[in-house]
Structure 1
Amino acid sequence: MISAYTAEDIRAAERPLLEEGQPLMQRAARALAGHVAKRMRTPEAPHVLVLAGSGANGGDALHAAAILRGEGITADAISTAESLHEQGAAALRAADGMIHPLAQLAPEDLGALLTEADLVLDAIVGIGGRPEIPVGLVPLLEAVSAAGVPVLAVDLPSFVDATTGQAAPGALAAQETVTFGALKAGLLLPGGAELAGRIHPVDLGLEEHLPPAPAVRRLENDDVRALWPHPGRDATKYSRGVVALAAGSVRFPGAAVLATSGAARAGAGMVRCLAPQAVLDLVLRARPEIVGHRTDTVDLEEIGRTHALVVGPGLPGEDPRTRTGVALLADGGDLDRGVIDAGGLEAITPQQRFGPDVVLTPHRGEADRLAERLGLDTHLPGPALATALAARSGATVLLKGAITLIAPGDGAPLRSQDDATAQLATAGTGDVLAGVLGTLLAAGLNGPDAAALAAILHGRAGRLASLDGRLPLVALDVSDHLPRALGDILADALS
């Protein structure tokens, strides 16, 4: 599991080491230089250009540039502020590196420096940066972007909030980020995650000084393998988990096919579909293994054994199945595990509270509408909005988007999963996700773990179905690729 921390957490963890006189900047610079040197094995005469600000972030990069010069790699810098980190600047000058003050560079001179460069190190601002670009630096960033030179961010991309991930429009997008001491929460959250590229952590010995609970967590393949429910030799369809789905309507009958397919292909012991006959006919033609229940409500005594309930795919908020299903999952209802999706979100009232094993799955528009109904600020950024919805409702909130955010209903750290492809932005893929999530809840996983695993599997299946984002897909393609996506994760442990 990847853990990431707030800027203040990291500063507090660095403080005792700095007071002891630990050479953190030198360690960071050596690690940065080593990474750049490996990357710059080609071309024959590589040239690195540092964009150096006035703080410690600039100092890290200037010291690294001096080390690179000692290894035969040309490294120079552009100073983006009136002052520079003194020791770092002195080290680069002592290694015969050039430092060009930005204020003295004509546009054609800047263009020439960028033409010569094979790699730009973005070290303008670091952990103390704000998502605001000073007017005087806009032409520089525009020139770097236009030149197409690969960018490597030092600690984190400049003008990204290290804690929230909020990024200034026009901030440089990096191919890679070498981050020091501990992962910054903003690197895993929307905004920062899109700019960071591949992240390479550098250990500086902060671990024992970091708080026990990070700000953000992200699950990896090892976590999937540890958490995934594997049936034992004595398993039955009931012990594997029974998930019921109130899904599909006259207007959106296909949603039931997609949601039940997601549930079935994720490994449910039994999938029940609660729907009108016309919807059931469509579902059973596509998936004969589904158990159909012709009903216009959700009555557990009539349906039979059920471990988790999915409410909402393809349903309007006023449908009786929607209202009765949401009521069953609310405090005082007969079920404490389930998914409220799509039309189900419209049926939630301000008076209702849920447990953390009930997962709400809105996209941003649905989240805004729910927040307004619950009296919350609709202008919050995604991480804060998901957290506020979870605190207000008691449920775990899975906020869908390019970065999937999961705010646990019990107040545990935020989860952030980045496994998807933009090709998943098509009708019906959310229905598949709801089905997968329902299966994992029925198997006994807690709400946050089930949500994170569902996001991973759904995203990986989308990547497989679209050839890693190169081709379009339809929602049923995603459900069809779920077993292989899981198989690839499980097989990775054996390779």
Structure 2
Amino acid sequence: MIRGYTAQEVREAEQPLLSAGQPLMLRAARALADRVRERLEAGADEEPDSPEPHRETPVGPRVLVLAGRGSNGGDGLHAAAMLRRDGIAAEAIAASDGVHAEGAAALRDAGGTIHSLAESSADDLRQVIAGAGLVLDAILGIGGRPEIPAALEPLLEAVRAEQVPVIAVDVPSFVDATSGQAAPSALAASETVTFGAVKAGLLLPGAAHLTGTLHPVDLGLGEHLPARPAAERLEDSDLRALWPRPERDATKYSRGVVAVVAGSPRFPGAAVLTCSGAARAGAGMVRCVAPQSVLDLVLQTRPEVVGQPTDTVDLEEIGRTDALVVGSGIGGEDPRARAGLDVLSHDIDHAGEHGKDRDGDGGAGGLERGVIDAGGLAAMTAEHRFGSDVVLTPHRGEAERLADRLGIGTDLPGPELAAALAGATGATVLLKGAVTLIAPGDGGPLRAQDDATSQLATAGTGDVLAGVIGTLLAAGLPGPDAAALGAMLHGRAGRLASRDGLQPLVALDVADHLPAALGAILAGALP
């Protein structure tokens, strides 16, 4: 699991080591230089006719540092000096009216040049940038803000125009290291070498798409960091540890039974997609609660689904159910939406401090595990309360409409909006987006999954996701884990179905690729 911390938490964790005289900057610079050398050597292996990166005499500006005046610039300048001593050509552009004194002296002592941005013509800058094989963005570090001075815009545009690969030093410049908010024209890095601890903002919308591949560098801060991070991201190893696998003596009931309340005469396909997501993710049994015309369509595609033709949600009538998925393809006025909410929600006049009802058995219908999507979200009111094993799955528009009904500001940034909805409802909130945000209903750290492709922005893929999460809840996973793992697998299946974003997909493609994506992650074969 990747754990992210606020900028202030990282500063406070560094302080004991700095007070003890530990050379954190030089350690960070050495790790950065090593990563750059690995990158250049990998490029040389791919291009055998190109000059080797290791030379006794550096030739040409193979590495170009964009250096600010603070410690981040110092990291980059010291790394450039180390690269030159390793035989790799490196120089710098001073991106401010001054640079880190010790870092600048080290680079000059190693024979490197520091170009002044203010004193360089546009042609000079283009020539220096065009000759670079790699740019290190060391303008600003964890103290950066999502604002770019006008004087630096031409420099950043020149780097983009020359299409030189960028490595961000600690964090991409002009982003908020805590919130992830980023300036619109900040440089996008192919990778970020981050020091001491991952900054929470690197996992969140805004900065996440600028960060590229994360390379954390351990500087010994671990014991000084808070026990609870500000943000988390599950990795493949977490899925391998958490994913429910059937025991040798498993039955369809022990694997978990998902009841899907979805589909309507207007949107019958939603039931097909939700049931497919649940079935292909490994549910022991999928029940579909829908009108007969919808069930007929579902059974044409998924004959293993057990149909329940009804216009309400009665668990005694439906039969054994471990998790309930409510809302895909139905309207908020559909009686099944309100009935499904009543099954999962708690009596707020009698609920205990942990969100249970008076008998401690969960919702009014005795079920406390489920997913609320689409029409279920539209039917929610301020009267509804849930436990953290109920997962709400809104997209941004649905989240804003729900927030408005609950008296929450609708213009909050995504992380704050998800957390506010979780706090108001008690449920775990999964806010869909390029980076999927999961705010646990139990108040745990925010999770941010960045596994998907933009090809998933098509009708019905959210229905598949609801089914996947329903399967994981039915298998007994806690709501936050089910939501995060569901988002991870859903994103990877989308990448697999679209050939890593190269070709379009439709929602059923995502469901069909769930088993292969899961198998590849479990086998350690899918990046």
TM-score, reference length from structure 1: 0.98
CA apart distance, 1:443 = 0.7
CA apart distance, 1:233 = 2.1
Equivalent residue letter for 1:470: L
Q: How does 1:91-240 map to 2 (within 5 A)?
A: 91-240=106-255
Q: How many residues align?
A: 495
The match for 1:248 is 263
Checking the alignment, whether the CA contact within 8 Å between 2:520 and 2:526 is kept in structure 1 is: no
The match for 1:17 is 17
The match for 1:265 is 280
Matched, 1:434 2:449: no
Equivalent residue letter for 1:287: R
Q: Once superposed, which parts of structure 1, at least 4 consecutive aligned residues long, lie more than 3 Å away?
A: none
The match for 2:516 is 484
CA apart distance, 1:139 = 1.4
Equivalent residue letter for 2:330: L
The match for 1:291 is 306
Query: Of the candidates 375, 381, 385, which is equivalent to residue 413 of structure 2?
Result: 381
Equivalent residue letter for 1:425: A
- Structure 1 residue runs of 5 or longer lacking an equivalent are none
Rounded Cα–Cα distance in structure 2 between residues aligned with 1:115 and 1:276: 64
Q: How does 1:10-89 map to 2 (within 5 A)?
A: 10-41=10-41, 42=44, 43-44=50-51, 45=59, 47-89=62-104
Rounded Cα–Cα distance in structure 2 between residues aligned with 1:140 and 1:303: 64
CA apart distance, 1:135 = 1.4
The match for 1:448 is 480
Equivalent residue letter for 1:298: V
SS in 2 for 1:480: helix
What does the per-residue CA deviation read over 1:109-140, in whole Å, with 9 as the maximum and x for residues that have no partner? 11111111111110000000011111111111
- Structure 2 residue runs of 5 or longer lacking an equivalent are 45-49, 52-58, 348-363
SS in 1 for 2:502: coil
CA apart distance, 1:176 = 1.0
Identity %: 72
Rounded Cα–Cα distance in structure 1 between residues aligned with 2:147 and 2:521: 39
Rounded Cα–Cα distance in structure 1 between residues aligned with 2:13 and 2:526: 37
What does the per-residue CA deviation read over 1:67-125, in whole Å, with 9 as the maximum and x for residues that have no partner? 11111211111111112111011111111211111111111111111111111110000
Distance 1:157 1:494, change over 3 A: closer
Checking the alignment, whether the CA contact within 8 Å between 2:373 and 2:393 is kept in structure 1 is: yes
SS in 1 for 2:220: coil
CA apart distance, 1:418 = 1.1
CA apart distance, 1:493 = 8.2
Rounded Cα–Cα distance in structure 2 between residues aligned with 1:17 and 1:177: 23
What does the per-residue CA deviation read over 1:152-205, in whole Å, with 9 as the maximum and x for residues that have no partner? 100010001101111001000001111100111111111111001111111100
Equivalent residue letter for 1:182: A
Rounded Cα–Cα distance in structure 2 between residues aligned with 1:101 and 1:379: 41
Rounded Cα–Cα distance in structure 2 between residues aligned with 1:494 and 1:430: 22
Question: Which deviates the most, 46-55 or 358-367?
Answer: 46-55
CA apart distance, 1:470 = 1.1
Matched, 1:323 2:338: yes
The match for 2:318 is 303
Matched, 1:473 2:508: no
SS in 1 for 2:22: coil
SS in 2 for 1:103: coil
Rounded Cα–Cα distance in structure 2 between residues aligned with 1:69 and 1:258: 57
Rounded Cα–Cα distance in structure 1 between residues aligned with 2:160 and 2:139: 15
Rounded Cα–Cα distance in structure 2 between residues aligned with 1:348 and 1:435: 20
Question: Which deviates the most, 25-34 or 330-339?
Answer: 330-339
Matched, 1:341 2:356: no
Rounded Cα–Cα distance in structure 2 between residues aligned with 1:465 and 1:72: 44
CA apart distance, 1:353 = 1.1
SS in 2 for 1:274: strand
What value does the CA root-mean-square deviation take over the aligned residues? 1.3
Matched, 1:419 2:419: no
Checking the alignment, whether the CA contact within 8 Å between 2:517 and 2:526 is kept in structure 1 is: no
CA apart distance, 1:286 = 0.9
Rounded Cα–Cα distance in structure 1 between residues aligned with 2:33 and 2:242: 38
Rounded Cα–Cα distance in structure 1 between residues aligned with 2:263 and 2:427: 23
Rounded Cα–Cα distance in structure 1 between residues aligned with 2:38 and 2:167: 13
Distance 1:449 1:322, change over 3 A: same
CA apart distance, 1:494 = 12
The match for 2:353 is none
